Amino acid sequence: MVAKRLLAVWAHPDDEAFGPVGSMRLAHDQGWETAILTATRGEAGQGHLVHLKAGQTLGDVREAEVRAAGQVLGVKQVYVWRYSDGGLQKVPPEELAERVLDVLRQWQPAVVLTFGPDGITAHPDHVAVHVATQRAFMKLRDEPGADRPERLYYATVRPGRQIEHPMGEAPPPLPPTTVVDVQQYETVKRQALACHASQQAEWEPLLADTDWLTTDRFFRAFPPFGPDEPLETTILHE
Ligand SMILES: [Zn+2]
């Protein structure tokens, strides 16, 4: 794998902005090549703030929003798939994992980020993306040869943070193994969120949560985090 490449795998346009924005931008600023993938175009999301032009769909608007946020994050490549928003759990898991595997082979990241089994909000699309990415990562790890990703991280939340689960049930979030101070990127986080104008009603109430804006938390799934290991302060290992 190329030492300084990172891939973040998400389900919807805006997952990347709710997620670890500061770490993505930090990677860019430290010379990493980064990519984000969204498995859907988010066409089932909030649409009441959007004035669609003739022939335009909410999916079109949200794809443009994630591409704009990608620029704020400094990502080099934005992969946008067209699975149905809300329907990822109906896609055969092997199919989804194979498609993630294709992107891993193509992008060759050393570090892979995605949701944990809780999906942060327990959204079934998030959980499906977690399963597919974890499978694809481990499959590639098991293959002989040099082209193997080195680290798999799940985005997680500060212990005790209450998150509503309107879409489904999921296990509790995994405890952070890695806590990254991204205070210097608070403005970048706000800018990335602002790219998702159609979803303003979702993110605006969270802007009062300073910790969310200034700290990224991850669970390191691979290599497994040792019981005596001190907390990490970065995901950008070369
Ligand atoms: Zn989402």
CATH of the domain at 113: 3.40.50.10320
**Residue positions counted in the chain:** 238
Would you say residue 135 lies in a domain? yes
Output the CA 88–ligand 1 centroid distance in Å. 11
Would you say residue 237 lies in a domain? no
Q: What amino acid occupies position 178?
A: T
Would you say residue 159 lies in a domain? yes
Would you say residue 173 lies in a domain? yes
**Cis, bond preceding 171 (omega within 30 deg of 0):** no
pLDDT at 47: 79
8 and 35 in contact (C-beta within 8 Å)? yes
Number of domains in the chain: 1
137 and 143 in contact (C-beta within 8 Å)? no
Output the CA 126–ligand 1 centroid distance in Å. 6
Domain that residue 15 falls in: 5-222
Q: Residue-wise pLDDT tens for the chain (238 aa)?
A: 568 999 999 999 999 999 999 999 999 999 999 999 999 999 998 877 788 889 999 999 999 999 999 999 999 999 999 999 999 999 999 999 999 999 999 999 999 999 999 999 999 999 999 999 999 999 999 998 767 999 999 999 999 888 877 777 888 999 999 999 999 999 999 999 999 999 999 999 999 999 999 999 999 999 999 999 999 999 998 7
Would you say residue 236 lies in a domain? no
CA distances to 25, 43, 213, 214 from 185, rounded to whole Å, are 8, 29, 8, 7
Would you say residue 205 lies in a domain? yes
Output the CA 78–ligand 1 centroid distance in Å. 16
Output the CA 45–ligand 1 centroid distance in Å. 9
Would you say residue 114 lies in a domain? yes
Phi, psi of 217 (to 5 degrees): -125, 140
Would you say residue 57 lies in a domain? yes
Output the CA 181–ligand 1 centroid distance in Å. 23
Output the CA 12–ligand 1 centroid distance in Å. 5
